[in-house]
Structure 1
Amino acid sequence: MLRLAVTTSSETFERMRGPLGDRGIDVGHLPAEGFALDLSTPPAEPFDVGFVYPSRPMEGGVVTARHDLPWVNTREDVLTSRNKAGVIAALERAGLPVPRSVCVSNPADESDLLDAVESAGLDYPVVVKPNSTTRGVGIAKAHDPDSLSGHADVLSLVHDFRATGDKSFLIQEWLPDARDYRAMVLDGEVVGAVERRLSDGARDGGRWKHNVHRGAEAVGVALPKRHRDLAEAVADELGIRYLGVDLLESDGRVVVSETNARPTIDDDAKYDDGFFDRLAALVERVAKKS
């Protein structure tokens, strides 16, 4: 039986274990952090293929070398998707719709920052977004130049620490009353989608972030063809086989806000029929090519 290494032991691991096991793939947990390994001793538990490269690149390199693993989503895939500004630039170049955005690399002069926002045609409020965080961490809304400068000052202080690897952030246009979708693209085809919704109480209280980890609810939806085509074009442009594509719809526009090459597998009801058949086929194909 083919053995698939999964470096997370949370929801994704539990939700895929049974369905893939029924399709001849044994899913096992491969720890990729919080360990002490004797590198001179071969691993006791063998794996044939890995699911998604670990979030920590250094530890990922260790487990990849020890097990000689090919990955469904590679290190390059994960790093590409993690770089939000890089994704926006690539999709913009390819003619795919994205929010108007400014990338700032610290240290940056305040006047240069404000001039860049004005030159990009951005109206306030704007969204300030760290370039490589997940789960909505660090995202804020700036209502005027003074508040934008304040947010930029905080990020500059954080970036002053030598240990801070990513010293960049994004300033993006604010899309009012946007509907927030996550489309799952597997092997070039959308296989399911959710709309992330805030409760009426949260909206009335001024909440606007749609991240599930911040209290939003992910509701399974059937995406319109326009949205599906866009998500599939994004995965094709980035060359990533298993990708979450975040879409924002506001005032008739649909844009790609960001992508995730380490997306959580949700419950079955939020995917099209045959999702796990397609996932199993992709795992087997990656293993055979190694």
Structure 2
Amino acid sequence: MLRLAMTTDAETFERVREPLADRDIEVGHVRAKERSLRVSGGESSAGDTGDVAAGPEEFAGFDVGLVYPTRLMEGAVVDERLGVPWVNGRDAVVASRNKAGVLARLSAAGLPTPKTTLVSNPVDESVVVDAAEEFSYPVVVKPNSATRGVGVATATDLDSLLGVVDYLNLIHDYRATGDKSFLIQEYLPDARDYRAMVVDGASAGAVERVLDDDALAAGRWKHNVHRGATAEGIALDPEARDLAERAAETLGIDYLGVDLLATDDRLVVNETNARPTVDAATKYADDFYDRFAALIRRTAETA
């Protein structure tokens, strides 16, 4: 049986464990953060327990990893200890995390994206003012490297935009990469928000992220599930499936969540995620786990 190392959260780990076991892939969790990790300095002792890394044997016996750890410093240690190929390695995770870089590559390849400008701090206020002149309000302001909707806001005029920028400058620490850049992006009102899953180049299902009536009445607009939206399984139309597949192909990432925004007259790629959460199997194509397992096996064979 193939052994797969997963560093993703418990929710995804629990969802994939049984379906992959049915396909002769044993899933093991490797804790890569919020603990100590022995780097060097001798063999392990019998007294090493709990949050202390118990030496090389903790990482032994794996054949392949799913996605590189989200914290790159810890990831370097875990990667060295495991010594396995990753379905999505460090380069894929770093590339997808860079929202501006993703949009620049997709736009250069002719794929539709929201109008977006990257601002690299520190800059004078005049730089932000000049960058905002090419947009109509409201605009979306978001950290370039954050996830789960952290730090994302809308600005209705120049004063509120500069206020959001001040907030980002003062309190957002960009812990993932040290990135202090942010995006100014056009706001697409009433856009439907889809997360398409692409596995080995082919669309494998999708969800629509929906806010309930109370949230909408309260003026909320961010559709992140971690912010309270509900993910409902849907069948994407051919245009949306094709766009998600083209995005994954352009980025060269085999296992990718592609976030699409759709209005009555536009369909754009908004972001991508090379560490996508796996939802309930009912929200994906019937052969999702067969394709997922095949990709894992093919990756293991590259070792």
TM-score over 0.5 for the pair = yes
AA paired with 2:93? V
1:119-134 equivalences in 2 (<5 Å): 121-134=134-147
- 1: CA distance, partners of 2:25 / 2:7: 16
* 1:168-207 deviation line (CA, Å, top 9, x unaligned): 0000001011100000000000101000011112111111
**Moved beyond 3 Å, runs of 4+:** 37-41, 158-164
1:177 maps to a residue whose letter is D
Question: Which amino acid in structure 1 is aligned with residue 299 of structure 2?
Answer: V
Equivalent residues of 2:145, 2:174 under 8 A apart: no
Query: 1:8 aligns to what?
Result: 8
Q: Is the counterpart of residue 90 in structure 1 residue 109 in structure 2?
A: no
1:221 correspondence with 2:229: no
Percent identity, aligned pairs only, is: 63
> Is the aligned partner of 1:37 residue 2:50?
no
Distance change >3 Å, CA 13–CA 151, structure 1 → 2: same
What residue number does 1:19 align with?
A: 19
CA contact (8 A) 2:139 2:154 kept: yes
CA distance in 2, matches of 1:77, 1:117: 31
Question: Equivalent residue of 1:43, what SS?
Answer: helix
CA distance in 1, matches of 2:35, 2:245: 37
1:37 positional shift: 3.5
Going from structure 1 to structure 2, the CA distance change for 1:151 and 1:54 (only over 3 Å counts) comes to same
CA 1:159–1:36: 2 relative to 1, 3 Å: closer
Q: Map of 1:153-168 to 2, 5 A cutoff?
A: 153-158=166-171, 165-168=178-181
> What does 1:216-255 align with in structure 2 at a 5 Å threshold?
216-255=229-268
Partner of 2:185: 172
- Deviation, structure 1 residue 162: 11
One-letter amino acid of the counterpart of residue 22, structure 2: D
Cα deviation code 1:90-141 (max 9, x no counterpart): 11111110000110011111112111221xx310000000111111111001
Identify if the C-alpha distance between structure 1 residues 160 and 213 changes in structure 2 by more than 3 Å, giving closer, same or farther: closer
Give the alignment's Cα RMSD to 1 decimal: 1.7
Instruction: Look up the SS of the partner of 2:301 in the other structure.
Output: helix
SS at match of 1:19: helix
Q: Normalization by structure 2: what TM-score?
A: 0.91
Q: Which amino acid aligns with 2:256?
A: L
State the AA in 2 paired with 1:156.
N
Q: Map Cα deviations across residues 29-75 of structure 1 (whole Å, 9 max, x no partner).
A: 11111333333442244211001100011111111111211100010
Instruction: Give the one of 119, 122, 125 matched to 1:107.
Output: 122
Aligned residues: 288
The answer to whether the 8 A contact 1:43-1:67 is kept is no
TM-score, normalization: structure 1?
0.95
State how far apart, in whole Å, the 2-side matches of 1:164 and 1:288 are. 31
User: Deviation at 1:161?
Assistant: 9.5
SS at match of 2:190: coil
Q: Is 1:259–2:272 an aligned residue pair? A: yes
One-letter identity of the residue aligned with 1:10: A
Cα deviation for residue 154 of structure 1 reads: 1.6
Letter in 2 for 1:98: T
* Distance change >3 Å, CA 192–CA 108, structure 1 → 2: same
Contact map agreement 1:106 1:159 (CA 8 A) in 2: no
Residues 1:145 and 2:158 are matched in the alignment:
yes
Could you tell me which amino acid in structure 1 is paired with residue 17 of structure 2?
A: R
CA contact (8 A) 2:7 2:69 kept: yes
Whole-angstrom distance in 1 between the partners of 2:297 and 2:276: 20
The equivalent residue for 1:28 is 28
Q: Unaligned regions of 5+ residues in structure 2, if any?
A: 44-55
Q: Measure, in 2, the Cα distance between the counterparts of 1:9 and 1:252.
A: 37
